[in-house]
Amino acid sequence: MSNNQHKKKNSFSYAISGIIEVTKTQWNFRFHLFAIIAVIISGCYFKVSTSEWLALTGVIGLVLVAEAINTALEYLVDLVSPEWNELAGKVKDISAGAVLISALIAAITGLLIFIPKTGLL
């Protein structure tokens, strides 16, 4: 195996390790994974269109990426500032806020797609 192939293999391993870490340590990430399962089941049941699947996939990805970045920022802040620091707290609050924004966008997207299919509107 060439040095370049070895580096690519290692970078993929590190990425998988990161996904495992965030899944094992972050309750909110696991919650979103269960929500994804519910969305997939609902999407199959209601036979959502290709464009609706695209929208759902996009917002699902947005939420998972936001959660992962939030976790990485929390770890970094804890490393740099192990004791309480107002600015460190703001960094954590802002990154958590980004997750909330992405989750709200995902929820609105889901409601716009699924509510009409239920006959409630």
* Neighbouring C-beta atoms of residue 64, cutoff 10 Å: 19
54: which residues sit within 8 A by CB, 6+ positions away?
Answer: none
Say whether 82 sits in a helix, a strand or coil. coil
Tell me which of 21, 67, 74, 83 is the catalytic residue.
67
- How far is the CA of 101 from the CAs of 29, 105, 108, 113, in angstroms? 15, 6, 11, 18
Whether 86 is catalytic is no
Active-site positions read: 67
